[in-house]
Homo-oligomer: A and B are copies of this chain.
Amino acid sequence: MEQANALLNQPEFSAQGILRKFKVAALCTTDDPADDLAHHKAIRESGAATRVYPAFRPDKALAIHTPVEFNLWLDRLTLAAEMDIISSLPDLLEALTRRHTFFHSMGCRLSDHGLPHCYADFPTEVAASSLFNKVRHNKHKPGPDEHAQFAAYMMLFFGKLDASRGWTKQIHLGALRNTNTRAFQALGPDTGYDSIGDYPQAEPLAKYLDKLEQENALPKLILYNVNPVDNYALSTMIGNFQDGVTPGKIQFGSGWWYLDAKDGIEWQLNALSNNGLLSRFIGMLTDSRSFMSFPRHEYFRRILCNLLGSEIERGELPGDDALIGPLIENICFNNVVDYLGLDVGLGDLSPQISQITQIG
Whether a CB of chain B sits under 8 angstroms from the CB of A264 is yes
Q: Are A258 and B229 in contact (CB under 8 A)?
A: no
B residues in contact with A179, CB < 8 Å: 206, 209-210, 237, 240-241
Q: How many copies does the complex hold?
A: 3
Minimal Cβ-Cβ distance residue in B for A227 = B232
Minimal Cβ-Cβ distance residue in B for A200 = B198
Whether a CB of chain B sits under 8 angstroms from the CB of A214 is yes
Whether a CB of chain B sits under 8 angstroms from the CB of A8 is no
Main secondary structure of the interface of A (DSSP, over half): helix
Q: Are A274 and B270 in contact (CB under 8 A)?
A: no
Q: Which residues 217-250 of A have a CB within 8 angstroms of B? A: 227-230, 232-233, 236-237, 239-241
Cα–Cα, bound, A255→B278 (Å): 22
Q: Are A195 and B240 in contact (CB under 8 A)?
A: yes
Cα–Cα, bound, A316→B302 (Å): 13
Whether a CB of chain B sits under 8 angstroms from the CB of A137 is no
B residues in contact with A228, CB < 8 Å: 232
Contact with B along A187-224 (1 / 0, CB 8 A): 00000111111111111001001100110000000000
Q: Are A202 and B210 in contact (CB under 8 A)?
A: no
Whether a CB of chain B sits under 8 angstroms from the CB of A350 is no
Number of chain A residues whose Cβ lies closer than 8 Å to a Cβ of chain B: 43
B residues in contact with A209, CB < 8 Å: 179
Whether a CB of chain B sits under 8 angstroms from the CB of A279 is no
Which of B213, B232, B258 is the one whose CB lies under 8 Å from A236? B258
Among A198, A261, A264, chain B packs the most CB atoms within 10 A around the CB of A198
Cα–Cα, bound, A213→B199 (Å): 23
Cα–Cα, bound, A193→B213 (Å): 13
Whether a CB of chain B sits under 8 angstroms from the CB of A263 is yes
Contact with B along A313-325 (1 / 0, CB 8 A): 0001000000000
Cα–Cα, bound, A311→B237 (Å): 34
B residues in contact with A200, CB < 8 Å: 198-200
Cα–Cα, bound, A232→B239 (Å): 26
Q: Are B230 and A203 in contact (CB under 8 A)?
A: no
Q: How far is the CB of A246 from chain B (nearest CB, A)?
A: 16
Whether a CB of chain B sits under 8 angstroms from the CB of A180 is yes
Q: List 20 A-B contacts (CB under 8 A).
A: A176-B203, A176-B233, A179-B240, A180-B240, A180-B241, A181-B213, A182-B213, A183-B240, A195-B202, A195-B206, A195-B239, A196-B232, A196-B236, A197-B233, A198-B200, A198-B230, A199-B203, A229-B229, A261-B274, A263-B274
**Known interface pairs A195-B237, A263-B270; 16 further A-B residue pairs with C-beta atoms within 8 A, sorted by A's residue number:** A176-B202, A179-B241, A182-B213, A182-B214, A192-B239, A193-B240, A195-B202, A195-B236, A196-B236, A196-B237, A198-B201, A198-B230, A198-B233, A229-B232, A261-B274, A262-B316
